[in-house]
Amino acid sequence: MSDRVGFVGLGHMGAPMCEQVVRAGFAVTCFDPREEAVAAAATAGARPAASAAEAAAAADVLVTMLPGPAVVEDVLIGAGGAIAALAPGSVAVDMSTSSSAVGERVAQAAAARGIGFVDAPVADALRAPEGRLHVFVGGAPEDVERVRPVLEAMGAPEGIVHVGPMGAGYTVKLLVNLQWFVHAAAAAEALAIGVRAGVDARALHAVFAAGPARSSFLEHEALEVLEDGQYGERFPLALVTKDLRLALELAERTGVPAELSEATRRMYEHARERLGDAAGEMGAVRLVEELAGTSLRFEPEAPA
């Protein structure tokens, strides 16, 4: 595989991911509609491009990290023209949280030009600056192996999992996010009920995080709220509700009843209406706090 990589999408996740690819020694050409984002990537060592198509034309592997399915489709096979600009034999890797329906259309357009297409959405946003993301990869085995060195620049090798054919990565990412949002909403309600019933928040959290109800949310992200009063602004509610809608569309297509997932979606939509699009991914916790009139914070520990 050549060392030429195009990178399109330099947002909260894309910017540190692009920087990791540069640090790994790849020759990176980047684009984002925000000039300041491109300038920052250029400072880190990427070559700026004037468009997505220009970034693609300079690459053997094109990576996209975009807000959602509509943007993915537009950049790759719509007005952005990225697939049309790639040379035959290259591979496009979409690392956005998108839909398999869009992926199918992109894959068909790519195949018609002799271009491979891999979907490889990511998790663990906090680890993006370390190059230790989890990556869920869907695609033909030969395409996945061709792009693996680029993926390993951004993700922990043991966390890069080939989950199936093209589209499987999108599916797994939506379901990972769905479970996390459900866990966060359920934990928020349980914590609020326990605190209102008179149990110390620190003791309650210790039991939840170590017991049979433990989850990644309780072990890690919940501490941002409980210790620091932070609600995960790195991933806004506008994107949370987008991901939940996509997950429920998937449930409908597969014929699986998803009553708990639908209730969680409504809860996050309520949080978005009350707190705004830019509020963080733990907006459900903040919503529960406000509705219950209860602050979920650890009391200072008594001196020894």
Residues tagged active-site: 173
Helix (H/G/I), strand (E/B), else coil: 303: coil
Q: Determine contact, residues 226/283, Cβ cutoff 8 Å.
A: no
Q: Using the CB atoms, write b or e for 13-28: b if 16+ within 10 Å.
A: bbbbbbbbbbebebbb
Q: What is the 3-state secondary structure (H, E, C) of 27-66?
A: EEEEECCCHHHHHHHHHCCCEECCCHHHHHHCCCEEEECC
Copy the structure tokens of residue 216.
């990644």
Q: How do beta strands 133-138 and 122-123 pair?
A: antiparallel
Residues in the chain: 304
Of 35, 98, 53, give the one whose Cα is nearest residue 71: 98
